[in-house]
């Protein structure tokens, strides 16, 4: 007699992936999103700089963007539209120096920066006595502050607009203080024509509260009182750095709402910035009308280097439209940019 097996199918709950909204539910504006990738082969430190820039652009970026050698600029552009990507940050390396291009999709403009100096996030953390990087630090996008870009030059105005629009806009009437945890500072020096790029974390400390009390309230740990004669000694004795950390009255703010256990509404707190990296010194080399192509609006090297600019522009255009030689191979394997965010 034939044995009938158990044909009952088990129910498997489907995995649902929560998609990010393209429109801010508060401001009603489109949320800018970005791709950070490279063109050409990068050395190890620049690859790490690329990952640091991806973390900086969180949460509206592809942190685990998978790049393939056969992918050209057109491939990224084809994927950017359906995914709502508005900006490209492109790293490249030549024999002379590394470069960073910041482009608006799909029609430009494109700003090309020469990276004169840079420090990775890990280097910044190793140089600090107490590096700070909470687990929810990258849950919200950073604030953007620009300084020194107020001159009437057209290329500086374009730089200002580009960086202002690369991060989501905030409404000061509805923004939550708990979401303001990072800040990106760009300072333009009109004498050297260089841009200092810095990335900081924001933290608040209540004014007039010792470090011992702050740690006690935050950690909920029983303090060690064996060396004290009285409990009042624990309260009155100043902890390490407690008095010097909040001397600058210009950094004191009055909170409108509670922020954590020790920063209460209607009390004064000191705003502290701690650098988390990456750090860069940039020089604006070229501004193009299109996406890595088109007319040159600005060139740092004047009319003599305009020919070089056209050469770069032709190279970028060929890179955008490349793939003719490998069409058969790409058709077989499929030209695509994999994104696992």
Question: How many C-beta neighbours within 10 Å does residue 264 have?
Answer: 13
Distance CA 283, CA 269 (A): 37
Tally the C-alpha atoms within 13 A of residue 290's C-alpha that lie toward its C-beta: 12
CA 298/CA 277 separation, integer angstroms: 29
Predicted local distance difference test score (pLDDT) of residue 59: 94
The one-digit pLDDT tens for each residue of the chain (341 residues) are 555 555 555 655 555 445 566 776 655 678 999 999 999 999 999 999 999 999 999 999 999 998 888 889 999 999 999 999 999 999 999 999 999 999 999 998 999 999 999 999 999 999 999 888 888 899 999 999 999 998 778 899 999 999 999 999 888 778 887 788 999 999 999 999 999 999 999 987 776 666 666 665 555 566 666 676 766 666 666 444 444 444 566 566 666 565 665 555 656 777 889 999 999 999 999 999 999 999 999 999 874 344 344 444 444 444 434 333 333 444 433 444 554 54
Query: Taking the CB of residue 257, how many other CB atoms lie within 10 A of it?
Result: 11
HEC per residue, 228-290: CCCHHHHHHCCCCCCCHHHCCHHHEEECCCCECCCECCCCEEEEEEEECCCEEEEEEEEEECC
pTM: predicted TM-score of the whole model, two decimal places: 0.74
Amino acid 286: pLDDT:
95
Q: What is the pLDDT of residue 221?
A: 63
Distance (Å, whole) CA 276 – CA 126: 10
First to last CA, the chain: 54
Q: What is residue 145's predicted lDDT score, i.e. its pLDDT?
A: 94
**What is the pLDDT, as a whole number, of residue 326?**
37
């Amino acid at each position: 007699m034939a044995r009938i097996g158990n044909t009952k199918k088990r129910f498997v709950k489907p995995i649902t992936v929560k998609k990010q909204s393209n429109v801010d539910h508060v401001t009603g504006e489109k949320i800018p999103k970005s791709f950070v990738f490279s063109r050409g082969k990068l050395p190890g430190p620049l690859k790490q700089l690329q990952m640091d820039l991806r973390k900086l652009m969180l949460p509206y970026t592809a942190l685990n963007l998978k790049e393939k050698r056969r992918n050209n600029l057109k491939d990224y552009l084809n994927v950017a539209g359906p995914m709502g990507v508005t900006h490209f940050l492109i790293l490249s390396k030549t024999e002379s120096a590394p470069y960073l291009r910041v482009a608006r999709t799909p029609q430009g403009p494109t700003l090309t920066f020469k990276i004169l100096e840079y420090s990775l996030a890990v280097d910044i953390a190793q140089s600090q006595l107490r590096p700070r990087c909470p687990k929810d630090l990258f849950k919200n996008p950073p604030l953007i502050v620009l300084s020194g870009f107020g001159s009437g030059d057209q290329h500086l105005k374009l730089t200002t607009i580009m960086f202002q629009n690369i991060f989501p806009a905030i409404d000061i009437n509805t923004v939550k203080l708990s979401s303001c945890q990072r800040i990106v500072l760009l300072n333009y020096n009109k004498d050297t024509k260089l841009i200092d790029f810095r990335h900081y974390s924001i933290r608040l400390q209540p004014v007039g509260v010792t470090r011992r009390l702050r740690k006690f309230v935050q950690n909920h740990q029983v303090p060690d009182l064996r060396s004290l004669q009285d409990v009042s000694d624990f309260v009155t004795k100043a902890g390490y750095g407690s008095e010097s950390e909040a001397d600058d009255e210009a950094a004191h703010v009055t909170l409108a709402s509670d922020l954590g256990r020790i920063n209460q509404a209607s009390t004064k707190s000191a705003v502290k910035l701690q650098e988390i990296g990456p750090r860069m010194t940039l020089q604006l080399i070229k501004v193009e009308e299109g996406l890595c192509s088109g007319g040159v609006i600005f060139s740092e090297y004047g009319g003599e280097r305009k020919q070089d600019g056209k050469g770069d522009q032709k190279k970028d255009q060929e890179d955008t439209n490349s793939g003719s030689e490998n069409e058969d191979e790409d058709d077989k394997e499929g030209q695509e940019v994999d994104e696992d965010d």
